[in-house]
Amino acid sequence: MAATGGAGGGDGGEGGGGEERPKPFTPEEARGLVLSLQRPAVFCSMADDWPALSWTAGHIATLLGDAPIRFRMGKRDFGSDPQFETSCDYVDATLADFMAWSDRGKQTDDGPTDGGQTVSGPGPFDSYDARTSWAYADYKYMASMFAGNAHALRAVTWSDFGFPGRGGKESSLWIGSAGANTLCHQDSYGCNLVLQVQGRKRWHLFPPEDTAFLYPTRIPYEESSVFSRVNVVRPDLRRFPRFTEARAHVVTLEPGQVLLVPRHWWHYVESIDPVTVSINSWIELDDDHRARVEEAITRLVVCAVKGADDPDSSETWLNPTEPEQTSHDTNCQYLNRAVASYFEHQESSAPPEPRARPSQGPQGPQGRGESPAGWSREGAARPWPEKKLPFGRGLVPVLPQPRGALEVGNGHSRHDGNPEGESDRGHSDHWDKLERPTQPQSPISTNELLGCLLDPRVIHLVAELLLEGRTLRPSDLPPDEGEGRHLAPLQ
């Protein structure tokens, strides 16, 4: 899909040269679409005049100078398993180091190398072959990267989408090489706006209703992220047969385009050009107050169970983005605060509108669905009725892919939706074998148990029961308790 507007060019810090063209939507209209759309869509020509649109990786390297940033290192061919962040290496390097390493990989991709030598060079990346490895500087808060550089932070203007005052301070920067990817996951909080700046990225998106088909897991644990156990670009259908029922929506995002990822849409993202740059901002929503209760329950359970595991185990169950395991007392306090915040919001809220306020977990604002800066409540926007959505040159829907287009990993073929051509009778035989095992069954692991306990559907029900149980009617309280009290203290 090509952008209808220009993407800007050069390494300058200013953009939008030439005659100014009107944007397809006013800020109020764009905000209404962001808050109304329940399916992913691409905004075109909304960011043509943003200075950040000319931010090539080379220009950003000039802005950062010798300041090191952390890169996540992975393999281009990882097989049929997802490449979790716990299985990646991490390298601290300058962006100039990354550019030199990426250039070496591009040169060898374009032609043969001498003697099959490893493509590496001196510096932080010297042990990684640029032909078989990728590097990703992901989730980099611009407020931290460009602290003190007000000019750089003004290069992003989300006010064009109806969120006044939101710019670089409330945005994250992503810089990667070809093959760099974010494994398939669902953000617990908010919705997501993503501006593609340099290169192209391919997005695989799945609706919230497909959660069961994506085999969700909370191990490795990270607040606000539910991971999929499926490698969605090379699925192993023997292990994950229901993935054939998932409805992939695939789009290649071009420079200058802005993708809307609605609330709770699963997404896998991969860089397909030698160097890619993108900028995003998470828009928090009123529903996040309940989501924080669910996340607090999840944190308490996973830390309690995994914290009691074998201390000599080599398993890494915390995602690298989580600084440390939090104590049971801390997690209980977090749950209390989340429940209290939920009821306070219920009492004070007007009709639903975004409330931009970061989650305050045990370590403060965190998680890939969080913004590093506090935001104020903003005015409501007019929603767009589904029948009147203005799809066209300025707004392109991301459509579902034909089900037969799925690639299959690990050499497993698919026939009529069943791996290896299995029939329904084959599934019946499977259950018979479970009743009469022919070999000793392996012990149930805590990961298996947590896979059931922390399934999003289970946690949603637990939160619903907890919140219903904590709600008291004023008539149920003794007279001296005071009118309007709705939250009893947790024991």
pLDDT at 359: 38
Whose CA is closest to 267, among 149, 368, 161, 345?
Answer: 368
Phi, psi torsion values for 272, nearest 5 degrees: -115, 0
**Cβ atoms within 10 Å, residue 433:** 9
C-alpha 298: how far from chain center: 18
d(CA 399, CA 27): 25
In contact, 372 and 21? CB cutoff 8 Å: no
Q: What is the pLDDT of residues 318-360, one digit of tens each?
A: 999 887 889 999 999 999 999 999 999 988 875 555 444 333 3
Could you tell me if 271 and 177 are in contact, meaning their C-beta atoms sit under 8 angstroms apart? Answer: yes
β 266-271/201-206 pair status? antiparallel
Q: Which residues of the chain have pLDDT under 70?
A: 1-20, 105-122, 310-314, 350-383, 386-387, 403-440, 472-491
DSSP state of 123: S
Q: Which amino acid is at 29?
A: E
Q: What pTM, to 2 d.p., does this model score?
A: 0.80
Q: Beta strand 258-261 with 89-93: parallel, antiparallel or unpaired? A: unpaired
The token duo for 418 is 């069943």
Residue type for position 357: R
Q: Tell me the domain boundaries of the chain.
A: 27-286+389-397, 288-385+444-481
In the numeric block, which tokens belong to residue 395?
Answer: 């707004």
Q: Which residues pair with 70 in a beta bridge?
A: 92
Give CA–CA dist 139/125, Å, rounded. Answer: 20
Nearest Cα to Cα of residue 269 among 247, 251, 255, 295: 251
Beta pairing partners, 277: 175, 198
CB-based contact 253:200 (threshold 8 Å): yes
465: DSSP letter: H
How many C-beta neighbours within 10 Å does residue 448 have?
Answer: 12
CB 242 within 8 A of CB 213: yes
**CA 436 – CA 31 distance, rounded (Å):** 59
Reference 42, options 4, 15, 8; nearest CA is 4
Own/partner contacts of 92-95, CB < 8 Å, gap of 24 or more, are: 92/68, 92/124, 93/68, 93/69, 93/123, 93/124, 93/125, 94/61, 94/64, 94/65, 94/66, 94/67, 94/68, 94/69, 95/57, 95/60, 95/61, 95/64, 95/69, 95/137, 95/175
In the numeric block, which tokens belong to residue 90? 């991490």
Class of domain 27-286+389-397: mainly beta
Question: What span, in angstroms and rounded, lies between the C-alpha atoms of 233 and 206?
Answer: 13
Query: What is the C-alpha separation between 198 and 127, in angstroms, rounded?
Result: 26
DSSP-assigned beta bridge partners for residue 125: none
Helix axes 57-64, 95-109, angle to 10 degrees: 150
Q: Which two tokens stand for residue 361?
A: 């977990």
Q: Which helix (H) or strand (E) holds 290?
A: helix 288-307
Provide the residue count of the chain: 491
150's tokens = 């007000």
Strand order in the sheet with 89-93: 89-93, 69-75, 133-141, 172-177, 275-283, 191-198, 258-261, 41-43, 395-397
CA–CA distance, 106 with 365 (Å, rounded to integer): 38
Q: What is the DSSP string of 132-176?
A: TEEEEEEEEEHHHHTTT-HHHHTT--GGGGT-TT-SGGG-EEEEE
Query: Helix (H, G, I), strand (E, B), or coil: what is residue 106?
Result: helix
Burial class (CB in 10 A: 0-12, 13-18, 19+), 435: exposed
